Homo-oligomer: A and B are copies of this chain.
């Protein structure tokens, strides 16, 4: 459903929200080991996420990647979209240019409600929301 890149990005963003802040940064290398993602690829992804303000970064000694309060307010959907693009999840099942109610394909009415629900949840859940659940041990973060 998602690309590897999006999965890696989500894991990294969630991990950073849980384990870092401006005073506790983390190296790309260490993040990659913790969440089990290829090192060099992780670094490239993190740089892209930082450029788009999904996470924060600092160069030089004592530098690294981290999550600040503003970063924790990004939604899960935003993370997916900066990597996989806007239409990865919303696109038509039959490849129509536009997926909407006005000119729906035969599958649209069938799956649109549940798919929209799922997307709406991803859109309304922030990294902060998730990390709360994790801190309360409601769920665990896999690597």
Contact = CB atoms under 8 A, between A and B. Distances in A.
Interface residues of A, number: 40
B139 A94 contact: no
Contact of A4 (B95, B103, B107): B95
Interface string A57-78: 0000000000000000000100
Interface string A88-122: 11011111100000011111111100110110011
A128 to B, nearest CB: 12
A130 interface: yes
B114 A118 contact: yes
A10 interface: yes
Contacts of A96: 142
A95 to B, nearest CB: 4
Contacts of A89: 1
B1 A94 contact: no
A8 B109 contact: no
